[in-house]
Amino acid sequence: MAEVEDRRSQILDAAFEEFAAKGFKGATIKSIASEAGVNSPALIYHYFPDKEALFNAVLETHAPIRSAIENPASFMDRPPEEVLPEIARAYFATVANPTSRRMMKLMLGEAMRRPQLAEMIGRATAVRVLGFLKGYLSRQVELGRLRPHDVRSSARAFVGMLIPQAAGKILFTALREDGLEDEEHIETAVNIFLEGLKPK
């Protein structure tokens, strides 16, 4: 069993490097197999049914935000003052890793040129994160911790509050010139968000 997990990890590491270097379209199962030291590209299909499933697994492995929401039930009854900062930290951890940033830059560029890839990336990450937040915020409304509101909008608003801080790490370093640290931003953003949604 350990050997199976080791081989799977080896394939994921190789796939990450190939996707980061060549993009989704440029990376092939054959090139990933070669990078992983796998004799036959067909062996990769033993672990992953297709290239898209492999890409999704790579995103999950290298995106702490995805890992953080894999078990939504563990969050649902916890207060937003605890959960929202955790989600924000996982989001920032995803963009803090230099290798992940390299892959994100490449994927953003490719997504602009290839709408199908943009759709796949959106479903793999953005839709999952927003889906988790919508479910979580709905539960907080049920528990009376937040006032009734449209959780579709509040989920987007919360993520939107994090984007400029993340963008300063990925693309626009000028946004970091004011010295705002992640923890400072998380505290302020969560307070503003919850103040706007507190029960009346």
pLDDT tens digit at each of 200 positions of the chain? 556 568 888 888 888 888 877 877 888 899 998 888 888 888 888 889 988 888 878 777 766 566 666 777 888 999 999 999 999 998 888 777 776 666 666 666 666 776 776 676 666 667 788 899 999 999 999 999 999 999 999 999 999 999 888 878 777 777 778 888 999 999 999 999 999 999 98
**DSSP letter string, the chain:** -HHHHHHHHHHHHHHHHHHHHHHHHH--HHHHHHHHT-S-GGGHHHH-SSHHHHHHHHHHHH-HHHHHTS-GGGTTTS-HHHHHHHHHHHHHHHHHSHHHHHHHHHHHHHHHH-HHHHHHHIIIIIHHHHHHHHHHHHHHHHTTSS-S--HHHHHHHHHHHHHHHHHHHHT-GGGGTT---HHHHHHHHHHHHHHHH---
Q: What are the tens digits of pLDDT across the range 145-177? A: 999 999 999 999 999 999 888 878 777 777 778
What range defines the domain where residue 19 resides? 2-60
Is the same domain home to 118 and 172?
Answer: yes
Tell me, yes or no, whether 21 and 99 share the same domain: no
pTM, two decimals, is 0.69
Query: Same domain, yes or no, for 103 and 187?
Result: yes
Report the domain count for the chain.
2
